[in-house]
Amino acid sequence: MGTPIPERIRRSDDAIEVAWDANHVGRFAARALRLACPCAGCVDEMTGRPLLDPDSVPMDVAPLQVELVGGYAIRVRWSDGHGTGMQTFDWLRAHCPCGDCAPPRQSPLA
């Protein structure tokens, strides 16, 4: 099927919305998405062990800017100064917190 490509990505103070199509929108809670950062500063590259202390991320962390990385990912500049990680479209689609993708469990990214 290939890499899913969002139709729209929208930033707000408390979330990033990814619209896969008109009827499929995933709303990723800002702090949860920040805590899921896969960069080498947040996750040990060799072991996959988390390095980021969740207590170091403010409860009100907000996405300040969202940039496209090629045609396959986004990079978010966060209000806590972080901005080196990126989430691929494949990762975002696999972790989509919408009601169709995440029932009946509650996605940690919602």
pLDDT exceeding 70 applies to what percent of the chain? 92
| pLDDT band with cut points at 50, 70 and 90 for residue 69 | very high
Tell me if 45 sits within 8 A of 31, measured CB to CB: no
Residue 105 has pLDDT above 90, yes or no: no
| pLDDT band with cut points at 50, 70 and 90 for residue 102 | confident
Which residues lie across from 28 on neighbouring strands?
16
Which tens digits make up the pLDDT trace of 5-45?
999 999 999 999 999 999 999 999 999 999 999 999 999 99
Q: How do the domains of the chain map onto residue ranges?
A: 8-94
**Helix and strand element counts for the chain (H, E):** 2, 6
How far apart CA 39 and CA 110 sit, in angstroms, is 21
On whether the 8-94 domain is CATH 3.30.2020.30, my answer is yes
How far apart CA 16 and CA 110 sit, in angstroms, is 10
